[in-house]
Amino acid sequence: MEKEQVKTIIKQELPIIFKEDIEIRQLIVQLAEDRFADKTVTYDRFDKLLQELKTDREKQDMRWEEQNRKWYENQRDRDKKWEEQNKKWDENKRDQDKKWEEQNKKWYEFKRDQDKKWEENKREQDKKWEENKLEQDKKWEEQNRRWDESRKDTNEKFEKLDKRYNSTIGALGARWGIHSEESFRNGLKAILEESFDVEVIHVTEWDDEGVVFGRPDQVELDILIKNGLLIICELKSSVSKSEVYHFERKVRFYENMHNRKCARMIIISPMADDSAKTVAKTLSIEVYSYSDDIRV
């Protein structure tokens, strides 16, 4: 019989024999005894392992109880400190509230005094303002009267001049622009300062950054000041569109340099082409061809 056949028969018959034959069962147990632990030994090992686990758990419980005890003691100390801190906080808050109330009281008293002083000062200033206004109105009426008389006299003189003379002046302005502008500037300065209480100043500033002309150069302007009101003029024998733009940049340069706003921008020229007038209107620049057209 082949070995493999024997194995097959044993596998088939052995389970049945193991159940029915006690001697065979004991023999098999004896043969496997050195490979498998005895039941009693196995139980002893489990008991020992359970005992070790029980001991470790008891030690862990003791440590946990000790840790809880320390935690509760620490928590109790923190609660005590927190209560003390809250007490100090409440005391400090009461002090601060008291100081704040005192400060508010002083502030309201101070504000009441300031309001009272302000009202008194306002009434006094209003009174002075009304008195000054009446005085200025009186001076203004007198000035207007003098202006009307002077203008009437000037108009009568100008009406006597021939139109040909005006054309001649225009031609001279084209040929001798610098000299005529200076002459006209001096004449206008004399008229305005002597007759209309207007201060006329010719200023020359240096433009380091080239804001006006695109490169560093000097900037000349005619400044008119009436009752603190700033008016900037340009006197030209003739004026083109590009010169209008240059004038506007000169005004902005002067405003930025002196931190002062110009109330009016005026160009006075006997010859101003239509494109120059259009640009001037866009830039809110007043253009006059005759000096007697100006209202200051």
| Mean pLDDT value of segment 111-115 | 89
278 band by pLDDT with thresholds 50, 70 and 90: very high
Mind listing the pLDDT tens digit for each residue in 8-66?
887 787 788 878 888 877 777 777 766 665 666 666 777 788 888 888 888 898 989 99
Distance between CA atoms of residues 264 and 43, nearest Å: 116
Residue 195 has a CB neighbour count (10 Å cut-off) of 15
Q: Which CATH architecture has domain 177-293?
A: 3-Layer(aba) Sandwich (3.40)
> What mean pLDDT value characterizes the chain?
80
Q: Between the CA of residue 126 and those of 120, 129, 288, what are the distances in Å?
A: 10, 5, 39
Please name the residues in contact with 253: beta carbons below 8 A apart, sequence gap of 6 or more. 205, 207, 211, 212, 219
pLDDT at 165: 45
Distance between CA atoms of residues 238 and 99, nearest Å: 74
Distance between CA atoms of residues 107 and 113, nearest Å: 10
Do residues 205 and 221 make contact, with C-beta atoms less than 8 angstroms apart? yes
Partnered with residue 272 across adjacent β-strands are 239
Res 168 pLDDT > 50: no
If one compares 248 and 291, the residue with the highest pLDDT of the two is 248
| Mean pLDDT value of segment 157-164 | 59
pLDDT at 291: 46
284 band by pLDDT with thresholds 50, 70 and 90: very high
pLDDT at 222: 83
pTM of the model: 0.39
- Which is nearest to 251 in space by CA: 232, 269, 270? 232
What percentage of the chain reaches a pLDDT higher than 70?
79
Give domain limits for the chain: 177-293
Please name the residues in contact with 181: beta carbons below 8 A apart, sequence gap of 6 or more. 173, 235, 236, 237
Mind listing the pLDDT tens digit for each residue in 84-111?
998 898 888 888 888 888 898 888 889 8
| Mean pLDDT value of segment 132-140 | 88
Res 208 pLDDT > 80: yes
Please name the residues in contact with 150: beta carbons below 8 A apart, sequence gap of 6 or more. 195
What percentage of the chain reaches a pLDDT higher than 90?
11
Q: Between the CA of residue 199 and those of 56, 192, 296, what are the distances in Å?
A: 108, 7, 11
If one compares 197 and 54, the residue with the highest pLDDT of the two is 54
Distance between CA atoms of residues 143 and 150, nearest Å: 10
